[in-house]
Chains A and B, each alone.
Chain A
Amino acid sequence: MVLMGACRSIQVGSVEVGEEAAPLIVPPLELAWTHNAGAGFGVEPPHIRDNIAFVGTRRGEVIALSLEDGQRLGAKQFGESIEGSPVSVGGDLVVPIAFGKYALASYSVNSGRSLWSAQGEAVVAGILAMDDGFVVADAEGTVRRYDTSGEILWAATPGGRVRSRPARAGGRIIVADENGCVSAVAADDGSVLWQHCQGRPVYAPLAMLESVVIVPTTRGVVEFVDAEKGELVSTYAVQDRTVRFTAAGTGGEMVVMGTSDGRLVALSHGGKELLWEIEGMDSFLGGPLIVGRYVYAASTGAILYAVSLESGSIAWQIKLRGRTKTGLAAAHGKLLVLTEPRHVQAFRTTNTVIKP
């Protein structure tokens, strides 16, 4: 599968996915492998396609790693910094570039060739991948929908600068900006459908829970907004209004979020009910991830936690190589954690044999 490891390009042949490994990520976990990515990471979790993890670094590189053993399959330079995460669109990779000559670039991992690149305002937020293209919100607040070939289908500027990955709710694209406005634009033509402004900046990626968009703000409040009407369904707030919420991890009816003051909060029923809360941990920047009956979260205190979804008790924890400020990703029995100083660490369930 891997044709060129550790070179300055990424080229991958046709991928045999085989049997999808069951999500056997149950604590206790053990370290499967560690890879030195050469630079730090943004907030967005790595992108996993098939059996490969694509990691964007703050040095502007995208690195392809085998989930199996952490082997570097290739790397490619895209600008000077990547904050969001690359995504797969139509079999190719689209990379958001936070600093550099280009703002977006597309790359074929099959042929190892650059397909196209687009200049413009930097893209700090992650990309929203769709079946027939993708949506990007740039640092100036312009939202663009692209088709798979990189053609712009429409552009709209519903609000201010965007650092938060948009979300999709049926025929709507939901975007939140630094000024604290959440907007819905039509996925078809970019027309603004509604706007909901509470003045609470949004830095973390949005998430959906059925028809409710979860808006983690930087002012001690999480807003739950009806994606169809733009109405505030509910809020969850902490007393300290300087607290920032991470992206939400969702599973079933549950929403789990971390906070910058070191809490993990589990909510249900559209944020109306607090199920449990754990305090006294270090800051969370990256969003937690719900896998099965556990939620995993990694803190800036360099600890990876596995918390029982049901009881809210810490089932397991391990000291990481460094602080983590990136969301978690999991697939094929591996939990990926991006840690400081510049490492990708993969964990697997102890004594679990991963099927090929």
Chain B
Amino acid sequence: MLLRVPVLCLVVAAASVPCASAQYNFHFGRNKIQYTDFEWHVLETEHFDVYHYPEMRELAEHGAAFAEEAYKEMQNRFLFSLQERTPLVFYATDLHFKQTNITSGFIPDGVGGFYEFLKGRVVIPANGDLHRFRRVVRHEIVHVFTLNKLLRVYRDHRIVSARLLPLWFTEGLAEYWSGPQDHQHEMVMRDAVYSNYLVPLENIYRVYGSFLMYKQGEALCRYIAETFGEEKLLDLIDNAWRNADFRKVMEHTLQEDYKKLSADWQHVVREDYYPRLSKAQPPSVSAQGIAVRGFSAKPAFYKTKAGRRYVYYVGNKEGYTNLYSQELDSLYRPAGKAGMLVRGERDDRFEAFHVLASRLDVSSKGRLAFVTKSGEKDVIHTFDLEANALESTYGFDTLTAVYSPTWDPEGERLSFSGINAAGVIDLYIFDTLTDELTRLTTDTYDDRDPAWRPDGQMIAFSSNRTFFGEDGSHNLFTYDVLSGSIDYVTQGPHNDFSPSWSPDGRWLVYTSARKDSMDRYGGQDIYVADMLETPPIATRNFVRQSPGTRYAVEERRLTNWTTAVFDPIWTADDKLVFTTFENRRFTVRSVSSADSLVMQPRQTEVVEPVSGGHWTYPSISAQSERRPYPYKKQYGLDIAQGQISSSAFWGTSGGAVLSMSDLLGNDRLYLLMYRAADFGERTGNFFRSLNIHVSRVQLHRRTNIGYGVYRHGGLRYDITEPDVSTEFPRFWETIVGGFGALSYPLSMFRRIEFSTSLAWDRKRIPERRIDRVAYLFSNAASIVHDNALFGANGPVDGWRGELGVAYTTDIGNANVDYITGSIDFRHYLRIARHVTFASRALGRINHGKEARLWFMGGSWDLRGYPLFDVRGKKMWFTSHEFRFPILTQPALHVPILAALGIVNLRGALFLDAAHAWNDYYRQELPQIFAGETLGSGGLGFRLNVLGGFVLRYDIGFRFRDRFSRRDPSMFRQFFFGFDF
């Protein structure tokens, strides 16, 4: 075995080349698929390079204007100018954004964008709502200025420091300076105050990276600005050099004790919110719970032909997001346990639900319509609730993202909002009988949440096509299906969302968050609009800008709840079913007697909408500036790292890794140079143990391609090598070759891989004067599946598997000729929320002339045996673990652990068994533990540190010879790494 293999595989694995150490986790993982071959162009503005594709040019022009607008403001706020042009990479939709290679991680729903520090890249999807896009652009540009300003401060003071400002501050500042507090901010802060989980500043690490931390950070920055002066926010950055501890920096800058500052802030927040909440009630008191466990949202209601009532919702109770059904009794209390209607996030068809963005709807005939991401695009599924069967799946060539389908009264047509390749969101109607797609709106306004009126003539929806839309407000509108005219329902600086009709079509029920006299949003409550008095549609037209007739709409506020309510629906039983946010949790609840609530509203307001209100976002025309030009790759450094060591016994070893990639992260170059230790051999030949690996990986297509050349050289130790002496099994080997590999993702969860390599291999055994040369030609293929769900220490649910074959031969002299087969299957059975039973079965074979050895041993597989010391050309291995929690939050007991990022202490009862052999199953080679069935059992402890490292400590007994005997002493093994 080559001693250098584990090091090399870090690079080799990146190119998907089969490698001995690939028996570990390198070959698993889900696939980030490049469905779309974007034709990238660059639009240059004064301070930015805007990367976009031609389909979304108009959006890019808006984004460019937003960026320049933010630059101007941030330059003033930071007293700073950027000396380098900042790359802005825009995507039209979230689904395109998820394909980015600028970060290798998966991007979940809800991520508005990110700023990547290494190359200063800002990456943002527009996703329909240009106001939100504008705000995210500002948010990220605050980050750009913050980081550059901070680095400038360090350099001015000649401080060599990599320390960054705390996340609560940088994110809080970005939120605070990107615009006024929005309704989501109010929702979170009101809930934090009411539910009493406002996190003191000194403990804010406990919510590190959470939405709560962002919003508390925003509130803290606002408090600092309002109490000490806006200037102090910048002073905090200017003074960051004074102390590595930001608490000290705050104390110096604000001249206030840190804990007192925290206490004062909490007091001010509570003093501010308590009066606002004094008359508000929590939904948990005022409303009946339907689905209150885990995350539950987007309810839809259906009463079956048999008269049974069901609420359907999207929920996440144990990790995967699924579609659930919950039967209700006549009082809308849950009758029995919720059933899983559709299992999500495990296969290609239901890859992901848009849990906070897309509503469900049930037709009068019992057809449930819902949206999932399925490959490149969103699709609408219909499910026959009477037959309990999935019916159809509808995808649309022209649409990338689809949200909130709603049925017409006949249950044949669906209306929904969709985002096209240009990133523009509009309303559509799809006829399921004729497969005809009709676009209803054609502009850049954010049209969403359509709801078909029971008589089928009108579709209500939420849009920012209002006088107040430029500031982010949304009002309700109606679309007349026959005439195509659009009319106001509500009007004002509100956020009116999620309209839904009462069964008789008179009332439009919706949610609204409204600003008070202090220009602050309150809670998001349920409202209804009386639609009875609607005048003839023809007289009111908004889109076509014809003079409209004023008419009055009476709005009634039905609730006054502490935080926020979403997606109300009015059922035939006169109940309202909706989602609420309370105590950091989304739950589905109901209230009775919708009619009574409407008749006794908390507040009534008559609105007389004024037609008109057309406005546009600013834009930097690509025609007026330098014309966009096609993107041309330029490589920039990602990683450069070197290391060298020298000892009298081991000799000198060392190496360097160099990684470069283009701006979009699509094309990556790797250079690895490593000189292995000679173990005291004074060869006088530096190059003899020199390893070089140069590879290129291209990720811009769906098929990932890698190729490269390598030279591996050095001393090898191999007890099974037939030509070496048993006492001293060492020899020199040099391999020079090239490889090519490709990986084709069949879906997010499955891929096939192929690789080939050709190498010149020279083996020398000086003691026996053997000098053998082979021309190794190797081909491999494998299929990999992985839908495992990860917890803090490893997979907790799902399964992953790999099946591979390979053939290696010497095309020159037939010195080497062997086949490879491998299978690795891992299954995770989630018994309870924090308890998993994990099983693994593995088989490996290398068979033929000069077949290489597989290896095992160590904490990652066969525990109790030395790392990699169990070897054989063939082996099987099985492992079973009962994984259970010990302390999910050890920091609650020892607070300092949280600051160190130590979370989730877990235990594992394990039982391992394996057998490695060469030619004969029972032929024993004690030096490599071959020829006998080995095993171990015991107890392990796992501790996650800093989110990325898992410390492992196992104790147990080793078993030998088919478990017939047990080693007398216990083994203790400490290592690191995620569970299998």
Contacts and interface: CB of A to CB of B under 8 A. Distances in A.
B231 interface: yes
Interface in B47-93: 72, 75-77, 79-81, 83
A246 to B, nearest CB: 10
Nearest to B77: A242
Contact of A283 (B76, B83, B230): B76
Contacts of B83: 302, 322-323
B128 to A, nearest CB: 31
Contacts of B156: 39-41, 58, 340-342
B602 interface: no
A285 to B, nearest CB: 5
A59 B157 contact: yes
A244 B235 CA distance: 14
B230 A242 contact: yes
Contacts of A340: 152, 155-156
Given A58-B156, A178-B231, A341-B155, A282 B81 contact: yes
Q: Is the interface of A mostly helix, strand, loop or mixed?
A: loop
A38 B159 CA distance: 12
B834 interface: no
A159 interface: no
Q: Tell me which of B75, B156, B229, B242 has the highest count of chain A C-beta atoms within 10 A of its own C-beta.
A: B156
Contact of A40 (B75, B77, B157, B242): B157
Given A300-B80, A323-B80, A340-B152, A283 B157 contact: no
Contacts of B157: 39-40, 58-59, 80-81
B76 A243 contact: yes
Nearest to A220: B76
B231 A218 contact: yes
A39 B156 CA distance: 5
Contact of A261 (B76, B241, B255): B76
Contacts of A218: 229-231
Given A39-B157, A58-B157, A282-B75, A323 B229 contact: no
A99 interface: yes
A267 B159 CA distance: 40
B158 interface: yes
Contact of B79 (A39, A285, A302): A285
Contacts of A58: 156-158
Nearest to A42: B156
Given A283-B75, A300-B75, A340-B152, A59 B81 contact: no
A242 B231 CA distance: 9
Given A40-B155, A201-B231, A323 B81 contact: yes
Nearest to A60: B157
A300 B155 contact: no
Contacts of B241: 81
Interface residues of B, number: 19
A243 B76 CA distance: 6
Interface string B261-304: 00000000000000000000000000000000000000000000
Interface in B893-909: none
Contact of B229 (A80, A201, A285): A201
B81 A301 contact: yes
Interface string B131-161: 0000000000000000000001001111000
A144 interface: no
Contacts of A325: 79
Interface in B79-131: 79-81, 83
A261 B231 contact: no
A299 B77 contact: no
A302 B157 CA distance: 19
A81 B240 CA distance: 13
A99 B76 contact: no
A203 interface: yes
B434 to A, nearest CB: 56
Contacts of B77: 242, 260
A100 to B, nearest CB: 11
A240 interface: yes
A262 interface: yes
A201 B232 CA distance: 11
Q: Tell me which of B76, B77, B152, B241 has the highest count of chain A C-beta atoms within 10 A of its own C-beta.
A: B76
A22 B865 CA distance: 87
A161 interface: yes
Given A40-B156, A58-B156, A81-B157, A262 B80 contact: no
Interface in A243-301: 243-244, 260-262, 282-283, 285, 299-301
A324 to B, nearest CB: 10
B229 A242 contact: no
A262 B229 CA distance: 22
B79 A244 contact: yes
A323 B149 CA distance: 12
Nearest to B152: A340
A122 to B, nearest CB: 9
Interface string A52-63: 000000110000
Contacts of A342: 155-156
Contacts of B155: 40, 340-342
A340 B84 CA distance: 14
Interface in A312-332: 322-323, 325
A161 B76 CA distance: 23
A149 to B, nearest CB: 31
A99 B79 contact: no
Nearest to B156: A40
B81 A283 contact: yes
Interface string A190-223: 0000000000010100000000000000100000
B79 A300 contact: yes
A261 B76 CA distance: 5
Contacts of B79: 244, 260, 283, 285, 300, 325
B152 A299 contact: no
Contacts of A244: 76, 79
A342 B155 CA distance: 9
Contacts of B231: 178, 201, 203, 218
Contacts of A322: 83
A99 B72 CA distance: 32
Contacts of A282: 75, 81
Contacts of B152: 40, 323, 340
B346 to A, nearest CB: 51
A99 B242 contact: yes
Contacts of A99: 242
A262 B73 CA distance: 10
Interface string A139-174: 000000000000000000000010000000000000
Interface string B191-219: 00000000000000000000000000000
A318 to B, nearest CB: 16
Nearest to B242: A99
A231 to B, nearest CB: 25
A89 B230 CA distance: 36
B242 A260 contact: no
A8 B137 CA distance: 48
B658 to A, nearest CB: 26
A18 to B, nearest CB: 36
Contacts of A240: 76
B81 A178 contact: no
A300 B81 contact: yes
Contacts of A242: 76-77, 230
A262 B158 CA distance: 28
A302 B156 CA distance: 16
A59 B158 contact: yes
For the complex of A and B, 6 pairs with smallest distance between CB atoms: A40-B156, A300-B81, A261-B76, A282-B81, A58-B156, A301-B81
Given A39-B157, A80-B157, A244-B76, 9 more contacts: A38-B158, A59-B157, A59-B158, A218-B229, A262-B76, A299-B81, A300-B81, A323-B80, A342-B155
16 contacts: A40-B152, A80-B157, A218-B229, A218-B230, A218-B231, A243-B76, A282-B81, A283-B76, A283-B80, A299-B81, A300-B75, A301-B81, A323-B80, A325-B79, A341-B156, A342-B156
